[in-house]
Amino acid sequence: MCDIFERLYKLLKICKLNTTTYHPESNGALERTHKTMMEYLRCFCNSRNNDWDKWLPFACFAYNTTPHTMKKYMPYDIVFGRKANLPGQLQQRTAPLYNYDDIVYDVKEKLQTCHEIAQANLMKSKQHRVAQQARKVNMPVFNKGDKVLLRNEKAGKLDSLWAGPYTIYEIDPNGSTVIIELSKKKKMRVHVNRLKVYESRGE
């Protein structure tokens, strides 16, 4: 299955990125979308929160017909090249009909313009966000063979917040993720923000 996906990425010219577990900053754009969707659903779900699936299509439609803060366009406009038919607009008079050639040309021109402007706005926003995040980030530096503790993300109220110590088996070239050795046969890739240096009581 992995080989099939790798070929599919190559065929469609998709740049696949891997994210580490329990580190939402690695996939911030998607996590922010999920947060917005949860805010929508929280307003309409019942007290037991068990009917969210009924409200999901309405939440998706509301999200797709709202101007995006980074792209400055509605997602619906970028995909279809026209404004969505909102319930209130269906009662208004329809615009005069074009011939088929004019409609195709008009939609194509709108799509090209939307994509160019949205991409420029997105890149500008990304550069600003990356620069802003870089000022806040202070990633620790580890070396191969160091003893570290791993933050326990599923810890209960009385459980230990850190697990370990574990040994760093390998460090990625970018320095943001490392592979730690949980046991002789088990290794795990984690982000450095989830680690801290292990210091024994003797030290």
> CA-CA distance, 40 to 60, in Å (whole number)?
9
CB 26 within 8 A of CB 20: yes
pLDDT, one tens digit per residue, over 93-121 is 666 656 666 667 777 777 777 778 777 87
Q: Would you say 82 and 92 are in contact if contact means Cβ atoms under 8 Å apart?
A: no
CA distance 16 to 149: 29
Domain 147-197 sits in CATH at: 2.30.30.140
Give the per-residue pLDDT at 94: 60
Give residue 143's identity as a one-letter amino acid code: N
Average pLDDT, the chain: 78
Tell me, what's the pLDDT at 184? 77
> SS3 for 113?
helix
User: What percentage of residues in the chain have a pLDDT greater than 90?
Assistant: 0
> With contact defined as beta carbons under 8 Å apart, do 158 and 201 qualify?
no
Greater confidence (30 vs 101) lies with: 30
- The pLDDT, as a whole number, for residue 203 is 52
Per-residue pLDDT, 112: 78
pLDDT band of 202, cuts 50, 70, 90: low
Q: Is the pLDDT of residue 88 over 70?
A: no
Mean pLDDT calculated for residue range 82-93 = 68
The residue extents of the domains of the chain are: 1-64, 67-137, 147-197
- CA pair distance 110, 82, nearest whole angstrom: 7
Q: What secondary structure does DSSP assign to 91-111, as a single string?
A: GSPPPPPPPHHHHHHHHHHHH
Round the CA-based radius of gyration of the chain to a whole number and report it.
24
